[in-house]
Amino acid sequence: MKKYVKVADLQSELSELRKDKTIGFVPTMGALHQGHLSLISLCRSMCDVTVASVFVNPTQFNDKADYQRYPRTLEKDEEILENAGCDVIFAPSEEEIYPEKDDRIFNFGELDKVMEGKFRPGHFNGVAQVVSRLFDIVNPDKSFFGQKDFQQVGIIKAMVRQLKLTTEIVVAPVVRERSGLAMSSRNMLLTENQRIEAAKIFQALSYAKEQALKASIDEIRDEATRRINASPELDVEYLEIVDADTLQPVSEWNDSAEIFACTAVHAGKIRLIDNIRLK
Ligand code: PAF
């Protein structure tokens, strides 16, 4: 595996490779886990060259403490990527990604006014800034994202359409711990008890799936929320039942062809998100 920290060096390597190979790209913020590895593996199966970036993007953190606390494990990440068969790792500095302050403001309409966008103002603008910059640098044929970040996927697809980019967005299913807890870099910050209790998030989402089309949307949302909040370790920030494309809440099962339940839950200072398809 080759490692690059400078944009110019990475680009000169990729321009050679691109002559006769397809480039797949897995952007990450490091602290890699099985969820990331599933993206690497999918990328390897679909592209000739797999490029992974590791960059903790400051512009997408609306909470400074969350940014400071975010796990940084670059050496271990390199080892994990090497063992997973990744071809190129790009681990730039902040100056390399943002030589000048990025002042761009994206307009995602209603997509970023709900759920994560509502509770983390500015978060998706920062995601769009860094992902568009990374796409610009890597110019990948295909880019890989996890379904766990359901709203992020919607935002990135919208950004690709708006900027008329050509990279194809490939989405991989949520990877879960044995307990059902969705894999996340933040899981390593949970106490043992929080991690056990956090399994209740997937249990509540599974309950919602089981009840889909049988009970009303309001009943399911309220009961799933109640089940998570029943744990003294957990506090639901939102649990919404939404249209898969518009991300807006639905009130009837017939309102939309594809419906997801999405939630964000605080376990102490750690914020976890998860989602499940209901219909
Ligand atoms: O999903 C993530 O880890 C980040 O939001 C991403 C896409 C790497 C951008 O920093």
Q: Give catalytic residue positions.
A: 36
> In tens digits, what is the pLDDT along the chain, a chain of 279 residues?
999 999 999 999 999 999 999 999 999 999 999 999 999 999 999 999 999 999 999 999 999 999 999 999 999 999 999 999 999 999 999 999 999 999 999 999 999 999 999 999 999 999 999 999 999 999 999 999 999 999 999 999 999 999 999 999 999 999 999 999 999 999 999 999 999 999 999 999 999 999 999 999 999 999 999 999 999 999 999 999 999 999 999 999 999 999 999 999 999 999 999 999 999
Mutate to test the pocket of ligand 1, among 66, 127, 143, 155 (most ligand atoms within 8 A of CB): 127
- Distance (Å) from CA 55 to ligand 1 centroid: 8
- Distance (Å) from CA 133 to ligand 1 centroid: 12
Q: List, in order of start, the domains of the chain with CATH numbers.
A: 2-172 (3.40.50.620), 185-274 (3.30.1300.10)
- Distance (Å) from CA 212 to ligand 1 centroid: 30
What pLDDT is attached to residue 259? 98
Pocket of ligand 1 (CB under 6 A): 27-29, 57, 60, 127, 130-131, 149, 152
State how far the Cα of 124 lies from the Cα of 133, in Å rounded to an integer: 14
What pLDDT is attached to residue 175? 98
Residues facing 30 on adjacent strands: none
Phi-psi region of 221 (alpha: psi -120 to 50; beta: other; left: phi over 0): alpha
CB 38 within 8 A of CB 172: yes
Mutate to test the pocket of ligand 1, among 29, 62, 70 (most ligand atoms within 8 A of CB): 29
Ligand 1 atom with minimal separation from the 131 CA: 9
